[in-house]
Structure formats: C-alpha cells, structure tokens
Structure 1
Amino acid sequence: MDNNIATIYTAQKGRKELSYNDRISVLEALEERIKDLEPRIVDALKADLRKPRFESFLSEIDFCLHEIKTVKKKLKKWMKPRRVCSPLPFMPAKSRIHFEPYGQVLVIAPWNYPFQLAIVPLIGAIAAGNKVILKPSEVAPNTSSILNELISSALDSEIAAVVEGGVDETTELLNLKFDYIFYTGNGHVGRIIMAAAAKNLTPLTLELGGKSPAIVGTKNLDLAAKRIVWGKFFNAGQTCVAPDYVLLRKEDQDEFINSAKKYLVQFYGDNVKNSPDYGRIINERHFDRLNALVKKDDVLIGGDVDKSDLYISPTFIKANESSEIMQDEIFGPILPLVNIDNLDEAIAYVKRHDKPLACYAFLDKTSEKNRVINEISSGGMVINDTIIHLSNDQLPFGGVGESGMGAYHGKHSFELFSHRKSVMNRAFFLENDLRYPPYSKKESFIRKLMNLIS
C-alpha cells in the first residue's frame, strides 16, 4: 500500500470526533482559502476545460462558498437531537433521533465540475462531523493539483486530505474500510465502487447521470429554445443534468431550430469557436467518442469540430429512438431532436427507458405539468426551465435507479453523511408489568389495549 495513503488513513481513524466548534472552524478555514485561491482555481478550470471565468465562479467557486455559508448559519440547529413521540405503554419516556457522524468518508470526484463536485460533498461530510479522504479526478489534473494545495494548506490531514492519482490509487482506497463512500461519475465505475463497498457493507451514495429529456409542448417555443440552449451548452454540454435530448412535435421543430440558432448567436457570437464564453471537451478520448456520434446527414445546426483545439460546436441533430446517439448519455455539446405526436407519446418514451437524473418539461397547461410530475420518475425535475434546481439548496439533489442513489446539498448533505441514531430514555417509575411473563390471561387485554392506542 502507498505509504502516504496508509499514513493519512490511519491518522484519520485515530482522530477524535469533531465538535460543533471544530466543524465551524474547519469550514471557515476552507472558506477563506477558497477566496484566497480563487484566481488560481479559475486558471486551473480554464486549463482543464477552457471553462469561462463566469461559469467557473457561478457553478464552481460561488456554489461552494454558498454551501459553506448555509452550513455555518444552520448547523447548530441541524445538530440538535430531534424529539419524536414515545409509545404510550412505555411512558414516561423520551424518544429522540441523534445525528452522529459515520466516521471516515471517501469522496471520489469527477472531472466535469472538478472543483464543486469535490468540495460540496466535503463540506457536507465535515458538517456532519466526519473525517474525509478526497480523491479528485486525474482527468482534470490542474484542478486536482489546486484541490490538493487548498485542502493541505487549510485543513489538518487528520480531518481532510487529498489523494491524487488514477486507477491504482482509487483501487487502493477502495480496498480500505471506510465508513461511507460518496462517488460522482458514470454507472460503469459506480458498479465497481458499489461492489467494493459491499465487501465491507459500507453505505454509499452514487451520483450518476443518464439521458435527461426535455419535453417541449409549449406554444412559447422561443423561450423554451433559449433556456434549453443555455442549459445544454453550459460547460460545453459536460453537465450531468444537461438536457440530453428533446422530444417535440414535428410541426414545432423548424420554429424551435430557428430560435435555437438565434440564441446561439446571441450567447456566443457568429463564431462560437472564438467566444470566451464557450468551453472545450476535456480530452481527446471524449472528443473522439462525441465526434463519432454525429452523422453529417443528421445535422440541423453546427457539426463543426477541431480536434487540435478539442472543439465541438453546439450541434443539433435529428434522431429517433434507435439512433446510436440515443443509447447512452451524450455528455457533450450535441443535442438530438426526436419527434413525437403528443404528450402521451413523450411520457411513454421517457418511461420506456432508465430513470433519468433530471427531466425538463416545457408546457402551458397545469394539467399537463401535473401529468409529467406524477407519471415520470426522475432524480429531479424542472418545469419550463433547465438545470436551475441545483441552485436551490432546500431541494435534495440526487438520482434514482440507474441515475444514482442518495441525495445531498444543504441540510440534505448533513443528513446524508449522518447516522440517525434512535435513543429512547425511560424513567424508573410507573412500571408496567403487562409485557413480562407469565403471559397467561394477558393476551386478550393486550389486544384490546393495542387497538385503543394504535
């Protein structure tokens, strides 16, 4: 085993539980260091993903700072034991739910939002009182390096530490016995991590992905196109909750496409490649995978590529259920349009496939909105917009089925990384002997009593 991994792991195991003051102190130190390193974090994200400064601030840095601010404000209240009712036969008694840390948490982060998706789970784990080993993605090496510097300079390694590296380091970490594992990434690796966790019966959260649909049935096609273009091409489409395909009526397609063209120019100018507000594909492997999905005869908008610059333009293509691009999550700036006749067909289409991480529906009628909400199962859902549900820390964020398990953000992070321990405290007076042997002649009375109090 790597000596560094073994040393960190052993030291954290021996570290005492974090008090409320410890947790606040750690989060304040993390907050200040993020602010200090903000320019270099932006530079690292630009080097890895050509991420625009605005996107880096909005979706990575400020997202984390907001999460810390929320925790600092509300943690004391969250930590208080939650009182619940006690059964009448055992009165007088007090019943409470106590929130205690699992202990030692492994966080494995992805490359697409390599800062936010590493730091936000870390914040939640620390808020709940855990010690954390963070494994950033080696696919975003510049951000991995700045994360290492950030954590090592702000926090004691007995509380939180970064382990950089690739598959070998991840495998070593998974061979250790953690108390909780939090993974963000794809389903293939998610299954490997779940199998490793099963060996130690380790609870875990899997934040995966999937093909998130956008159902377009509104008369306001122009605004629907604007919001879909923004949500799809933010971070060059490399967003787990980006709209993965659009379901719309054939008679609406031309108007939708014309509006999309208009907003692409409005957002990125006449030459998207030269726009400072449009990112790049993470590496050549993902570029080749995405490029192979685009059939030139199917292109409705875009289709321009430059491998030397890892550039793929915002691209709309026509597709159907059997198209190659409709088989797996795209995770890039390519958006298929699939024609449907009505809402019934759209709902049936989505339900034929795995439950998505997000579902978007652009509809005018309340009855139609309610149908989508009630009939489609997805990790999250937005009506008449895209991806904005992540910005509300009152909403749990997570998947269902193939798109993952477990949900976090805000209070939901604290609860996710906490074991809810049931505590019932009885008094020594008013003893009830009905539960004790001998049981003869008690059953009839007990049945009647239980019927009265249930």
Structure 2
Amino acid sequence: MEATRVEQIYARQRSHAPAMARTTAAERRRRLRRLRCAILARRREIVDAIYEDLRRPPFESEIAEIHNTLQEIDVAIRRLPRWMRPKRVRPTMLLAGTSSRLVFEPRGVVLIMAPWNYPFGLVINPLVAAIAAGNCAVLKPSEKAPATAALLESLIDEVCDASEAVVVQGGPEVAASLLELPFDHFFFTGGSHIGKIVMAAAARHLATVTLEMGGKSPAIVDASADVKAAAERIVWGKFFNAGQTCTAPDYVLVHATVADEFVSAVEQAAARLYGRDEAERRASPDFARIVDEPHFRRLVDLVERSVASGARVVIGGKWDAETRYVAPTVLSGVTPDAPVMEEEIFGPVLPILTYRDLTEAIMHARGHGTPLASYIFSRDKGVIGEFQRGVPAGGTLVNNTLLHYVSSELPFGGWGSSGMGAYHGYHGFLTMSHVRPVVRQREPALARFFYPPYRGRLHDLAQRVIRWLE
C-alpha cells in the first residue's frame, strides 16, 4: 500500500474522530453487536484462515481467539453504560464548595499493530476496547499471517465504515509509513525490537502507547508441588500453538529433589497429549506448525547448539523443514549459559534446569528481565509469596499456566522489558480513554481566601486553616 493511501486513511479517520467521540453508549454497543454477529457468521472461515497460516488445531483457535474475543465483546456490551458514566470524586478540604468528577473521553485515532501468533484475537480484542471508548482505529495485522489478514480486512469492511475502523495490510514499509503519522495512541503486540521502534514513534508524536511483548517467562516447580499436575499443565502451556505464545512458560526451574520425577511426568504428559512416540506426535492433529522458515531455522539452531553444549534430549529433537514441523522437545541437563537460555524461545522447546535454593531460582529468573508472565507450582504459601515478591512480571499464575489471558476481569499487560499498559475488559476501556478531571465551583468560592495580598486578617485565617488541615 502506498504511503499516500495510508495518509488518506488516517486523514479520513482524523476528521471523523470528533463525531465518534460524541457517540452514545447505545451507538457503541450497536457497533459491538454488529462485530459479534459478523464473527459468529464467519466463525468457520476465521478458524480455517488461522489453520492456513499456522496449521493450528481448530479447537485451540476456538478457545484462544474466537471464544475469548466474544467474551470481550459481551463484557463491553453489558457494562459499557456504567464504564462511560462520569465518576464522582470526593473533594479535599481545600476544594470545599466544589464538585469533582472523572469524565472518560476517547483518545481519538488509535493504531493497533498485531503479531502473527494469534492473528485474529490480537487485532480484535484491542479493537473492542477502542470502539467501547469511542475511538477510530487503524488495524495493521501481520503480513506473516496473510490468510487471516485478508479475512480481517473483509470482516472489518463488512462491519465498519473506513472512517471508524479499517484494516491496512502490508509489510514493514507500510508499518513504517503508519508510524510516521501522529496517532493519538499506539497499541502494539509483538517483539521487543519492534516495540522499541513503536515507542520511539509514539514519543515523536507525544502520544500514549501500550506495548504487549514477551520475554523468558519462568516456571518454577517447588519441592512441595503436585509434580504430575505441574508437568501436565506446563506441557500444555508450552506446546499450545507449538509454543508460539507470548505467555508460554519459556523454561522450567525444578527443585533438584523432584527433578527426576518431574522429567518423567513431563514425558508421560507429552505422551498423553500429543502421542506416545515421534511418529504419533508428528501425525497428531492437535499440534501446530512453525509460522515461517526463519523461525523454523532459528529453533532448529537453538536445539542443535544446546545439545552440542551438553543438554540432553528427553523427547523430540526432530523436525521437518518441508512442513515446518518442530517436534515437542524437552531438554534436560540445561545450564544457565546454554544457547536455549539466551533469548525467548517462542517455539515448542522446553529447557529444564534444576535448583536447590529458592533464592537461587529467583535470582536466575530475575536475570532474564521482566517477563510477561511467571509461573510458580507449589503448595507452600511462603514459597509462593517469596516468588511473587522476588520475580517481577506482567502477571503471575500459581499452579497453572496461560489462564490469566482469558479473563476479562484481569488487566493483561507487561512490565519493563515485556511492555507497558494493560487491556481486557474495563482495563482496555481505560487504556483507550483519556480520564479528564472536571471540577465545578459552587458559590460562594472559598478559594478567594487564598488570593493576594498575602497579608492581613484573611491571610492569617487562611494560613491557620491550612495548618489545621495538615
């Protein structure tokens, strides 16, 4: 798409933004209902498009993208009038004689840039928040998921006028053109390298920004944990969508006293979920494929170099370039300096490390920045509390993986190296809104006691009042 076309799209939305800002809760809810109906009508097409891009099992797409998105829409439709209602704020003593409230206003024109790993939900969920808050939105899906991007363009054209929401397809050149435009809010989901570019663009325009990135999300298995349950839940969380999930457990730190039991439980869990041997796992309809050749090669290289450095393949370690298949792979005997520990894996490779002291495990996890998620498996409340306090992360789950993403009641977002800002439910509405404080003066205005000249009886009284309030 030409840069001039991108500019025309932006200009059209910019001119329409004031009208969108004046929309009522009823009008916004109608837009959300139209979106919901379109998703339901084209549900099969959406799942098929995702399958074409990622060969992801249809059920995984249903629960991770369709159901989750419908839930976001339903929550917004049900609660939007309450969200939009101005909130009264109790005035402080110095503001006696005034009334205060918070008014929620749309930011204006929002740019939503989405990745390829969940190519439908990570476009539509932020859009739901943008519509609920009364914004116009330009949507940039990933060019690495072309079938889903084409379907998104068709679906949004069907539901929205281009002055309200529009899909812009294209590669890095189109993304660069979009980042040159002065959007009011930039919403980006993806890797930290591009996230820094988006943040720099937002800074140039003095715009607000939401960054949802990833990181090396640790899973710690304490000696008190239910080892069998921990193994099964980590295997599911890691190999869901072939590990191409920003909140997937990146690696496991297991207490040395239960390490052998855990490794055995992981083998058994992988056999139950994906097949008893490599032939069954490769043929399994329940396991996705890697998105493209560069990511496939990167994963193969990580495994090969890690094995060369001393890691042992427990299961997997196989691949097929033609179908971009990387087997569910578990590595034991992994050291902190192994190649597989150098970067976020973002694939179906699970390194297992051991620890003896919780402080050691916490320090190791802290050495990998601030991940989007952290996981602790333990029955010991003291251990759980120490882990939560010691390992900063966007979100934490105790005794499970991934589940916090699907809640519309919880803010989903990163912290530090995994991003900033949050969305889902009311938190998404707030992210896409400017919260304006409005103070109304009643008569008489007591503030006149604080006017110059700063001397005389009124001034002395004002000083006594201030000191009394302190």
Q: Structure 1 length normalisation: TM-score? A: 0.97
| Equivalent residues of 1:211, 1:244 under 8 A apart | yes
- Report the Cα distance in structure 1 between the residues aligned to 2:284 and 2:367, rounded to whole angstroms: 39
- Number of residues of Structure 1 aligned to a counterpart in Structure 2: 454
> What is the CA–CA distance in structure 1 between the aligned matches of 2:411 and 2:467, rounded to whole Å?
38
Matched, 1:259 2:265: yes
Residue-by-residue CA offset, 1:66-89 (whole Å, 9 max, x unaligned): 100000000000001111111323
| Identical pairs, percent | 42
1:107 Cα deviation (Å)? 0.1
Contact 2:221–2:253, Cα closer than 8 Å, also in 1: yes
State the Cα deviation string for residues 388-419 of structure 1 (Å, max 9, x = none). 11122111000100000001100000001000
Cα shift readout 1:90-149 (whole Å, capped 9, x = no counterpart): 332110010000000000000000000010001001110000000000011111010101
Distance change in 2, residues 1:245/1:443 (3 Å): farther
Q: Give the alignment partner of residue 36 of structure 2, picking from 31, 35, 49.
A: 31
1:363 maps to 2:378? yes
Task: State yes or no: 1:200 paired with 2:214.
Answer: no
Q: Do 2:192 and 2:417's aligned partners in 1 also have CA atoms closer than 8 Å?
A: yes
Does the alignment pair 1:337 with 2:361?
Answer: no
More off after superposition, 17-26 vs 140-149: 17-26
Greater Cα offset, 242-251 or 58-67: 242-251
Q: Once the 2 structures are TM-superposed, how far is the Cα of residue 353 of structure 1 from its aligned partner?
A: 2.8
CA distance in structure 1 between the aligned counterparts of 2:435 and 2:136, rounded to whole angstroms? 17
Whether the 8 Å CA contact 1:239–1:331 is kept in 2: the answer is yes
SS in 2 for 1:437: coil
Checking the alignment, whether the CA contact within 8 Å between 1:48 and 1:142 is kept in structure 2 is yes
Secondary structure of 2:409's aligned partner: coil
- Residue matched to 2:9: 8
- For 2:37 and 2:168, the matched residues in 1 are separated by 22
Q: Pairwise CA RMSD of aligned residues? A: 1.4
Matched to 1:262, the amino acid is Q
Distance 2:467 2:348 in 1: 61
2:465 to 431, 449, 454: 449
In 2, Cα distance between equivalents of 1:364 and 1:288: 39
Greater Cα shift, 435-444 or 79-88? 435-444
In structure 1, the gaps of 5 or more residues are none
CA distance, structure 1, for counterparts of residue 299 and residue 94 of structure 2? 64
User: Relative to 1, partners in 2 of residues 1:93 and 1:154: Cα closer, same or farther, differing over 3 Å?
Assistant: same
Q: Once the 2 structures are TM-superposed, how far is the Cα of residue 375 of structure 1 from its aligned partner? A: 2.2
Distance 2:461 2:89 in 1: 27
Cα distance in 1, alignment partners of residues 349 and 213 from structure 2: 19
Cα displacement (A) at 1:12: 0.9
1:63-142 paired onto structure 2 within 5 Å: 63-142=68-147
> Does the residue aligned with 2:42 lie in a helix, a strand or coil?
helix
User: Which of 423, 439, 444 is the aligned partner of 1:424?
Assistant: 439
> Structure 2 length as normaliser, TM-score?
0.94
Q: Which residue of 2 aligns with 1:211?
A: 216
**Distance verdict in 2 for CA 1:339–1:422, change over 3 Å:** same
> How far is the alpha carbon of 1:265 from its aligned partner?
1.5
1:447 is displaced (CA, Å) by: 3.7
Is the Cα contact below 8 Å between 1:235 and 1:278 reproduced in 2?
A: yes
Deviations 1:246-304 (A, max 9, x none): 00123322211111111111112231111111000001110000000013452222111
Provide the residue aligned with 2:364 in structure 1.
349
- Structure 2: distance between partners of 1:304 and 1:350: 28
